[in-house]
Amino acid sequence: MRLTVQRIIAMFLLVIPGLIACFGFLKVKDSLYDYYISFGIEGVDPSLQWWKLILGLIMFVAGTGFIAGWTFFRDRKRNYVATRFKVKREKPPKPTKSSQ
């Protein structure tokens, strides 16, 4: 039972940012679509809905960034990433020759 609850919580931790990213994408799409479609309507001054666009961009970047970061750190932990992304460890100092 405990493992099932943990998996459900983990699923929600990925689904919620995914929904936020989708909702943000839709906000951006709607604001741009409303701006471009208003050019064809007579007597309407085309204006971009800036707050809707900025809110959508923030939501999209935040949701996508969370999922990408989670995937990256999970893959780094399991050594699935390229060598340039692996954690760099310091080399031990070379032994010195002692003169006797």
In a domain, 11, yes or no: yes
Percent of the chain with pLDDT over 90: 55
Asked if 57 and 29 touch (Cβ cutoff 8 Å), the reply is no
Whether pTM > 0.85 for this model: the answer is no
9, part of any domain: yes
**What is the length of the chain?**
100
CA distance 6 to 75: 20
Q: What average pLDDT does the structure give for the chain?
A: 90
At 13-61, the pLDDT tens digits run 999 999 999 999 999 999 999 999 888 887 878 888 999 999 999 999 9
Grade residue 100 by pLDDT with cuts at 50, 70 and 90.
low
Residue 52, in any domain of the structure: yes
Q: Is residue 43 part of a domain?
A: yes
- The boundaries of the domain holding residue 27 are 2-85
